[in-house]
Amino acid sequence: MRYRTLGAGTLRVGAVGLGCMPMSWGYSASQRDGESSLRALNAALDEGCSLLDTADIYGPFTNERLLARLLKERRDEVFLATKCGLLVGEQHLVANGSPAYVRRACDASLRRLGTDVIDLYQLHRADPEVPVEETWGAMAELVRAGKVRALGWCALDPHDRRRGRGAGGEHGRTLELLSRAQQVFPVSAVQAEFSVWSAEARAELLPWCEARGVGLLAAMPLGSGFLTGTLVPGGGFEPDDLRARHPRFTAEMMAANQPVVAGLRRVAARHPGATPAQIALAWLLAQGRQVIPLPGAKRASWVRENAAAAELTLTEWDLAEIAALPAARDSWR
């Protein structure tokens, strides 16, 4: 595994990480298997994918408890990233950025994870009711207390697209908040949706990170599974799967977005043994040294396939063909 750095070069992690959410939350409950997930986690470390990304809301809480089983045996090999700031409400997710909550959430995550320090503690969502300086200041106190090594920001707000805002509006607000947080305490990593079919982060967010030595953690780098080429338009999802309600995953939109997968398959055909998923991840790695994809996976075989993308080098021809692919279409646009 090749390595990359976060936080102005002070934190070293594998070039490909692992998003742990699908093991416990957001995807079909019938496909969750703790033992299979544990094998996937071990495979990630075996392959050098040291950055494991979780959150207290995944489950809620069950994903952190799952990781605790791994950490008990292999804590020294893990760069542990978790999050606070997002709660499950009666109707929707609710942001909470109060300093008192941040402190309680960190202590609770440490207990569930069975560790005495979190390597990267991320704010899952900014609370519009609390000044970011107060929230970030409380998180900085956790670093000074030795409970956390570094701080990260999640720039993931699905409401921006639902309101019809473009990439500039979405990331313009993010950059404003990031700049305010940076004045309180250094931001080591920013997590945002970034993939072949959703590349808005390249315009402003990636340059901001590059200028400051901040890592850009690419969330949903495989388009929630679509870019693997294994999902069938109209195949349907179980009711508890978030994709069942996502406008990109209607039968109509999945059919309309097939040219993106077809393009990845054409590029993969020029690299013996490569898959569309590996091409999508290799493309992200080619966008800059700050980018670290966090593909989600529940099976060890998928983890190994994703990790191997770090060894793929795309040609200028490959990159040009991928650049010409259309952006994702959905009913919000």
DSSP-derived pairing of the beta strands 3-6 and 11-14: antiparallel
Q: What is the DSSP letter of 327?
A: P
Q: Is residue 3 among the annotated active site residues?
A: no
Q: Which of 3, 27, 58, 101 is catalytic?
A: 58
CB count within 10 Å of CB 286 equals 14
Is the Cβ–Cβ distance between 215 and 5 less than 8 Å? yes
Is the Cβ–Cβ distance between 7 and 188 less than 8 Å? yes
**Both structure tokens of 23:** 């093991």
| Strand residues in 165-284 grouped as ranges (E) | 189-193, 215-219
* Among the listed residues 170, 167, 174, the one whose alpha carbon sits nearest the alpha carbon of residue 327: 167
Q: How far is CA 32 from CA 20, 24, 37, 220, in A?
A: 12, 7, 8, 19
Give me the active site residues, please: 58
